[in-house]
Structure 1
Amino acid sequence: MNILAIKGKKVRFSDDLLFVELDDGRVIGTPMAWYKPLQEASLKELNNYQFICGGTGIEWESLDYHLSIISMLESQKISKKVS
C-alpha cells in the first residue's frame, strides 16, 4: 500500500466512531475516544472540517485541531495509569 496515496474525500461520525471515506472508495473508522477535542465538540463543529495537505489531513479550524489520515491507520497503544 502506498501510504502517500491515501487521501480523504468525506468525513462522517457515529456516536462512537470517526469515519473517513477515502478517494479510492475505502472507508476507515477509528474510535472517537482517541480524539478528545472532537469527542467534546458539537455536531456543527464536527461537520465544519476541511481536508488539508493535499487531502492527507483533516482540519477543524474552529477547534484548532488537525488529524493525519495516516495516523488513523496506525495502532495506538492505550496506556493505563496504575496507582
Structure 2
Amino acid sequence: MTSLMVDLKDIPTIQSVEITDDTLSVDLVDGRTIAVPIAWYPRLLQGSAKERQDWRLIGHGAGIHWNQLDEDISVKNLILGQPSGESQPSFQRWLSQHQAAD
C-alpha cells in the first residue's frame, strides 16, 4: 500500500485565477491547474458574479481574498481538496448581513 505525502513547505504560488458560476480554477506557477466547485465555498456561491470577480492575491500568491465576500482561500487548501470549514451559524450570520446590504 502506498500513501500520498505532501511536502507543505514547497507549496507553489498562484499564477492566475478564473472563476465561473460553477468553478474556481487556479493556475499554479509549477504548471498545475486546480479546479474545484464554488459550492465548496458558500460565500462564493452566494456572491454575485461581480463580487466573485473582485479578488486579489494575498501572501505573495499563497492565497486569494475576496473583499466584498470576506472570503480567503489558500493554495494549501485547494491542493489538499479542503472545502470551506466555516460553521453553519457563522455562514448564516454572514448571509443575513450580506442580503441586508443588497
Gapped runs of 5+ residues in structure 2?
1-5, 84-102
- Higher Rg: 2
What is the rounded CA distance, in whole Å, between the counterparts of 1:70 and 1:10 in structure 2?
A: 15
Aligned pair partner of 2:19 in 6, 9, 13: 13
- Give the aligned CA root-mean-square deviation in angstroms: 1.9
Aligned partners of 1:59 and 1:76: how far apart in 2?
A: 16
Query: 1:80 is matched with which residue?
Result: none
With a CA cutoff of 8 Å and minimum separation of 6, indicate the structure with the bigger relative contact order: 1
- Greater than 3 Å deviation, 4+ residue runs: 1-5
3-state SS of the aligned residue for 2:24?
A: strand
Higher-strand-fraction structure: 1
Structure 1's unaligned 5+ residue stretches are 78-83
Q: Give the TM-score of the pair, scaled to structure 2.
A: 0.65
Q: Which whole-Å CA distance do the structure 2 matches of 1:2 and 1:17 have between them? A: 26
* Structure 1 CA distance for aligned equivalents of residues 79 and 11 of structure 2: 13
Letter in 2 for 1:55: G
Alpha-carbon offset, residue 2 of structure 1: 5.2
Equivalent residues, number: 77
More helix by share: 2
CA distance in 1, matches of 2:57, 2:14: 7
TM-score (normalizing by structure 1): 0.78
CA distance in 2, matches of 1:5, 1:73: 9
The residue number in structure 2 matching 1:26 is 32
Q: 1:40-79 maps to which residues of 2 (within 5 A)?
A: 40-76=46-82
- 1:62 alignment partner, SS class: coil
Matched residues, percent identical?
35
